[in-house]
């Protein structure tokens, strides 16, 4: 790349870049002299043109002389990696035995059976066995949680199963007794038994109301 430069009011050039740099280094061209090349918008001082600045020498770093009497720093010690922690094993189990996740299946089954038995206690044929199952599973679940809480959970669910199971059992027994009382009876006999459950001052009124209903059904 060729340059033109002006020194002492005289324009000179063209000269190659390296030639102009040499002239600058020897002092023939000062930093305040103007220079221009093709592609530049205007003449500029030589000192402001980055392409013409001499390369700065790299700083020389000298090593510090060794100081006698001071021991050298020991090599850094990297501790050996500790082995990864082993999964928890229960007392008496072989090393490395991994515990299974806690189980609450018995407690959940007890709660479900108890709720169904309580809701459908009117159908005592279904509610009675479900209530018994809920009570048995609830007691088993609680005993397992107390014996091994790390393996079994769901004590609250089991208690819910016990409560609903006992309530469902009572309801199913009551409905079974009522069903047996009415078994083989006619409609009139069933109505009379129901009336007898109420206080005597209400029984006569209920009988009259039943007779009116029967007359309405028999009327054409």
3-state SS of 77-141 is: CCCCCCCCCCCCCCCCCCCCCCCCCCECHHHHHHHHHHHHHHHCCCCHHHHHHHHHHHHHHHHHH
Residue 142 has what pLDDT? 93
Residue 53 has what pLDDT? 80
The domain spans of the chain are: 2-52, 105-182, 187-218
Average pLDDT over residues 20-37: 88
Quick: pLDDT tens for 50-96: 888 876 656 666 656 655 555 555 555 555 555 555 544 444 444 44
* Of 169 and 7, the one with more pLDDT: 169
Q: What percent of the chain shows pLDDT beyond 70?
A: 77
Q: What percent of the chain shows pLDDT beyond 90?
A: 20
Given a cut of 90, whether residue 170 has pLDDT beyond it is yes
Residue 137 has what pLDDT? 94
Residue 138 has what pLDDT? 92
Residue 87 has what pLDDT? 47
Residue 162 has what pLDDT? 94
Residue 41 has what pLDDT? 82
* Of 78 and 36, the one with more pLDDT: 36
- Whole-model pTM? 0.45
Burial class (CB in 10 A: 0-12, 13-18, 19+), 7: middle
Q: What is the largest CA-CA distance in the chain?
A: 143
Residue 109 tokens read as 């089954």
Tell me the C-alpha distance between 193 and 189, whole Å: 6
Average pLDDT over residues 153-182: 90
Residue 164's pLDDT band, with cuts at 50, 70 and 90, is: very high
Tell me the C-alpha distance between 114 and 8, whole Å: 112
Residue 130's pLDDT band, with cuts at 50, 70 and 90, is: very high
Residue 112 has what pLDDT? 95
Homologous superfamily of 2-52: GYF domain (3.30.1490.40)
Given a cut of 90, whether residue 199 has pLDDT beyond it is no
Residue 182 has what pLDDT? 75
């Amino acid at each position: 790349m060729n340059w033109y430069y002006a020194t002492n009011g005289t324009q000179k050039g063209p000269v190659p870049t390296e030639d102009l740099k040499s002239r600058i280094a020897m002092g023939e061209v000062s930093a305040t002299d103007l220079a221009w090349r093709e592609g530049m918008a205007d003449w500029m001082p030589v000192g402001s043109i980055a392409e013409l600045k001499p390369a700065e020498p790299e700083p020389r770093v000298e090593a510090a002389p060794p100081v006698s009497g001071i021991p050298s720093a020991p090599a850094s010690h990297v501790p050996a990696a500790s082995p990864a922690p082993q999964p928890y094993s229960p007392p008496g189990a072989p090393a490395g035995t991994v515990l299974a996740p806690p189980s609450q299946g018995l407690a959940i089954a007890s709660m479900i059976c108890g709720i169904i038995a309580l809701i459908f206690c009117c159908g005592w044929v279904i509610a009675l066995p479900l209530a018994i199952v809920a009570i048995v599973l609830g007691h088993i679940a609680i005993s397992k949680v107390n014996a091994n809480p790390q393996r079994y959970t769901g004590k609250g669910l089991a208690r819910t199963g016990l409560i609903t199971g006992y309530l469902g059992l009572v309801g199913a027994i009551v409905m079974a007794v009522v069903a047996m009382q009415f078994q083989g009876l006619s409609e009139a006999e069933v109505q009379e038994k129901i009336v007898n459950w109420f206080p005597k001052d209400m029984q006569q009124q209920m009988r009259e109301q039943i007779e009116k209903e029967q007359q309405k059904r028999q009327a054409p």
